[in-house]
Structure 1
Amino acid sequence: MSARFLFIANGNGEDSIAAEIISRLPEGVSADAYPVVGAGGAYEGIAPIVGPRFEIPSQGWRHTKGSVARDVRGGMLSSIGPALSFLRSARGRYDKVVVVGDNVGPILCLLAGLKIDIYLDVFKSGFAHTYSAPERWLIRRTTRTVFTRDAMLAETLARAGIDARAAGNVMLDTTTYGQYDAAARRRRPLAVTLLPGSRATTGESLALQVEALRLLPEAERPDAFVAVAGGIAPDELATATGLRWERPNSGEAADLGRLVGEDLLLNLATGVTGNLIEAADVVLSQAGTATQQALGLGRPVITFDRADNRRKRMADEQALMGEARRLVPQDAHALAQATARLLADRDERARLGEIGAERLGPFGAAARIVERLLE
């Protein structure tokens, strides 16, 4: 088969999903990637980037209050014209068009007159935040096939006459694995993995997570791993936490060394989030996509609720994740108490892990999407 596809995504996590699907395309099928916002680093070595580049303050992260207003002040509206011009120029140049993200992509395609072959909605859930009538109209006008995260959503769209399919949570298929032996670094009976995120607040988030670990009694303190997102420098994390960075010496490509203090040691790694989640009994996470990956892999998650988080977004997320994610105040003592309780209760960890895997799974959506693309 010889074909050329265009992938449109609007956010860092969405770029990772699109890149994963592109990487699974067979020989003879080429793909261009258009990241609507951001640099599109996820496509490096996978697909050429096309279209106008535009950076916005939020980087597509809509959890914080006032993020849309800040983006508007940062010039977001000026990006719409170039985006529409590019999408209009794409008409007739590609065999198929794939959109990954929320409804921003379909809206842009509607305005540009560009038909979407597959829309991969990674935002909505049948547990919360279902489709409104205008959104169903938008999808019907722009899209041939929709892949949703769960069967409840697919049934809602099917009743509206839309070809909708529930193939699993594609975010889980983007979980990264690689050469990193977490077991060889274990010294204690239990372990936690810290996911401080990939944005401007990463250092601040890790500092609070570290403070919480320090509040645990030394005898009960677990081994600790940190999944470091691309573009985050270990020495910056050392500065944020007050720990000392020791450079790696294992020879493993993912190894970023350790953060060390008098009473604490954190193992750092990058590009192996799956390895680190599976090594953990509990995950402390301020991430977006990686939180869902941890839950889908059956690990209970504890997240502190930042004061600047949007209430509705957090409520929607919690409705999806249920008990599997414990939400605590932005306070080291509260985070430490929640962590200690879960580490001490094996049965509760198992119960929450089952809930997370059921609500956020299953794996396998990426393969189904590729099959549909190649039909």
Structure 2
Amino acid sequence: MEILVISNGHGEDVIAVSIAEALRQFPEITKISALPLVGKGYAYEKANIPIIGTVKTMPSGGFNQDIKQMGRDLNDGLLTLTYHQYQIIKQWGKNGGKILAVGDILPLLFAWLSGGEFAFVGTAKSEYYLRDETGWLASTSLLERWLGSMYFPWERWLMNRSACCGVFVRDSLTAKILGEFSIPVYDLGNPMMDHFSVNPSLTFPPETEPLIILLLPGSRMPEAQNNWQLILQAVDSIKAVFSQRSLLFLAAITPSFNSIPFQEDLVDNSWQKEWINTYNLSIPDEQGILFSREQERLIISQQAYQTCLQLSHIGIAMAGTATEQFVGLGKPVISFPGNGPQFTQKFAQNQTRLLGCSVTLVDRPQEVGHTLTQLIKDPKKLKNIADNGQKRLGKPGAAQRIANCVVNECFN
């Protein structure tokens, strides 16, 4: 059996790679190839999964928000690229190969156009955007209710084609709703949590121990730099209400970023650079950079992302996937809107709907300190947040479960 994995975006590539690596363990699979529809597919290269066809990074980075960005992509050969990718996928289906589509409607549509059998992993959409277990959210419009699902009728039509052998969604609620439309849906969890150790309980440390706070400015520049400056205002608001307490901030910065501008912003805010080995904390990052200010310590880490998330008690986040993963660990997040282009007011509101009670959205960074004090005093809410994380993101091991199902049920 030969499988072509297609995906559209860096986050989708990472999830696709985790499933592809699990598929490699099956002797029935004789060949696995990949075709990233957006970007150059570095995640596939790193995992030694061969890429077929043409790949290219567009000026928008695949994050089209307006006509101007679309125009730049078109001028840079978007239509030609898309046609070449379609030809590759069509030929794969014609030769009897199977397709695993990961992402949204674009890979789903291409998989159907291949003419061959395919399975779909829906990473972007969740019914939690529109409803929870008790019913519709107040923010859900009459049109959205009439359409019946976060997945539009044309997406459901594609999932209902006979060539579609299985649909894997990110949570149980979404699986339940799609099942009502007779779609071959499986509820096997979210691969996003596969490399984490999930402990569905949360307790804050006693006041004699440092409170560890995660800082997530996002993964796109220059937006992440602007978000960082807002996050430092939130840090100041926390200092104001925890003036007598030891605080440790863990800043998980994307490895590809130059950390110097982030360090300069800290110095401008009265932080002093220290030797990293003067602080006793087991972060596996030899390049970690330690800063101090009175009772506070702050570590910039670009090589210990997973450890930073596991160690932290609460997150101050202006990110996408990283915020979801932290919530999946059963931990609370406080966020506030930035200036975009990604983490805007609308994005933050949508993320709050997706992740439920785990995210507290405030209007300004200056409100974070007071909000944090309220959270710590509310053990019932913390218990709900811990339970909610696993409900919304699922248990680790999803990639292996999906791979088993793809081989033994979908393409059997």
TM-score, normalised to structure 1, is 0.83
CA, structure 1 residues 174+146, in 2 after alignment: closer, same or farther (shift >3 Å)? farther
Deviation, 1:121, is 0.4
Deviation, 1:174, is 4.9
Deviation, 1:343, is 4.5
CA RMSD in angstroms, aligned pairs only: 3.1
Q: How does 1:314-333 map to 2 (within 5 A)?
A: 314-329=348-363, 331-333=364-366
Q: Give the percent of matched residue pairs that are identical in Structure 1 and Structure 2.
A: 26
Asked if the contact 1:172–1:292 (Cα under 8 Å) also holds between the matched residues in 2, the reply is no
Asked if the contact 1:170–1:364 (Cα under 8 Å) also holds between the matched residues in 2, the reply is yes
Asked if the contact 2:120–2:166 (Cα under 8 Å) also holds between the matched residues in 1, the reply is yes
Alpha-carbon separation, structure 2, partners of 1:221 and 1:372? 48
* Count of matched residue pairs: 359
Deviation, 1:37, is 1.0
2:234 aligns with 212
Asked if the contact 1:20–1:174 (Cα under 8 Å) also holds between the matched residues in 2, the reply is no
Alpha-carbon separation, structure 2, partners of 1:240 and 1:86? 47
CA, structure 1 residues 92+239, in 2 after alignment: closer, same or farther (shift >3 Å)? farther
SS in 2 for 1:137: helix
Q: Do residues 335 (structure 1) and 360 (structure 2) align?
A: no
Alpha-carbon separation, structure 2, partners of 1:4 and 1:247? 52
Deviation, 1:94, is 6.6
Find the partner of 1:159 among 176, 180, 183.
180
Q: How does 1:150-189 map to 2 (within 5 A)?
A: 150-175=171-196, 188-189=209-210
CA, structure 1 residues 121+346, in 2 after alignment: closer, same or farther (shift >3 Å)? same
CA, structure 1 residues 254+18, in 2 after alignment: closer, same or farther (shift >3 Å)? farther
Where does structure 2 lack aligned partners over 5 or more consecutive residues? 131-149, 199-207
Deviation, 1:101, is 0.7
1:139 aligns with 159
TM-score, normalised to structure 2, is 0.76
Q: How does 1:1-375 map to 2 (within 5 A)?
A: 3-24=1-22, 25-26=24-25, 28=27, 29=29, 30-43=31-44, 44-61=46-63, 67-76=65-74, 77-78=78-79, 79-93=81-95, 95-111=97-113, 113-129=114-130, 130-141=150-161, 143-175=164-196, 188-200=209-221, 201-215=223-237, 216-217=239-240, 218-220=243-245, 222-242=247-267, 254-260=285-291, 262-263=293-294, 264-308=296-340, 309=343, 313-329=347-363, 331-343=364-376, 345=378, 348-375=381-408
Asked if the contact 1:277–1:299 (Cα under 8 Å) also holds between the matched residues in 2, the reply is no
Asked if the contact 2:283–2:307 (Cα under 8 Å) also holds between the matched residues in 1, the reply is no
| 1:26-84 residue CA offsets vs partner (Å, 9 max, x unmatched) | 165442222111232222134122332222344344xxxx7143431221543322322
Alpha-carbon separation, structure 2, partners of 1:176 and 1:198? 23
More displaced 10-residue stretch of structure 1: 195-204 or 343-352: 343-352
Asked if the contact 1:228–1:269 (Cα under 8 Å) also holds between the matched residues in 2, the reply is yes
Alpha-carbon separation, structure 2, partners of 1:256 and 1:202? 20
Alpha-carbon separation, structure 1, partners of 2:197 and 2:59? 26
Give the letter for the 1:256 counterpart.
Q
Alpha-carbon separation, structure 2, partners of 1:198 and 1:74? 22
Deviation, 1:357, is 2.6
Asked if the contact 1:291–1:301 (Cα under 8 Å) also holds between the matched residues in 2, the reply is yes
Alpha-carbon separation, structure 2, partners of 1:359 and 1:197? 21
| 1:345-375 residue CA offsets vs partner (Å, 9 max, x unmatched) | 5554343232233223233321211102222
More displaced 10-residue stretch of structure 1: 44-53 or 247-256: 247-256
SS in 2 for 1:268: strand
Asked if the contact 1:23–1:46 (Cα under 8 Å) also holds between the matched residues in 2, the reply is no
Deviation, 1:209, is 1.4
Alpha-carbon separation, structure 2, partners of 1:83 and 1:311? 35
SS in 2 for 1:16: helix
Alpha-carbon separation, structure 1, partners of 2:96 and 2:249? 47
1:182 aligns with none
CA, structure 1 residues 238+284, in 2 after alignment: closer, same or farther (shift >3 Å)? same
Greater C-alpha radius of gyration: 2
More displaced 10-residue stretch of structure 1: 261-270 or 97-106: 261-270
